[in-house]
Amino acid sequence: LIGSYARGDFNLWSDIDLLIIADFNGNPVQRLKSIDFPPGYETILLTPEETRKMRNENKKFINDVFEEGLAIRDDFKLFH
């Protein structure tokens, strides 16, 4: 869980931001087409390799995820 719900500063108009890290196939657009989320959810789909690369490159987005995000499940042990 990332974004305003993870930080606790959400409001009535906030969407629920999710980062899902899994062994996805295809490009990001194909990934989003393969998963059907209800309205009000904003999803980002990354592979473990993409996540590790972003961390190694010190990308602000992924640094914020690991600092402010709430891991619901961590099968790849990325948050340890």
Q: What is the pLDDT of residues 19-53, one digit of tens each?
A: 999 999 999 889 998 888 889 999 999 999 999 99
Percent with pLDDT over 70 in the chain: 100
Is residue 55 within 8 A of residue 62, CB to CB? The reply is yes
Can you tell me which residue has the tokens 């087409």? 33
The tokens of 70 are what?
């709430």
Region 50-71 average pLDDT: 97
Nearest to 18, CA basis, from 31, 53, 30, 80: 31
Q: Which residues contact 49 (CB under 8 A, 6 or more apart)?
A: none
| Full-model pTM | 0.89
* Single-letter residue type at 41: Y
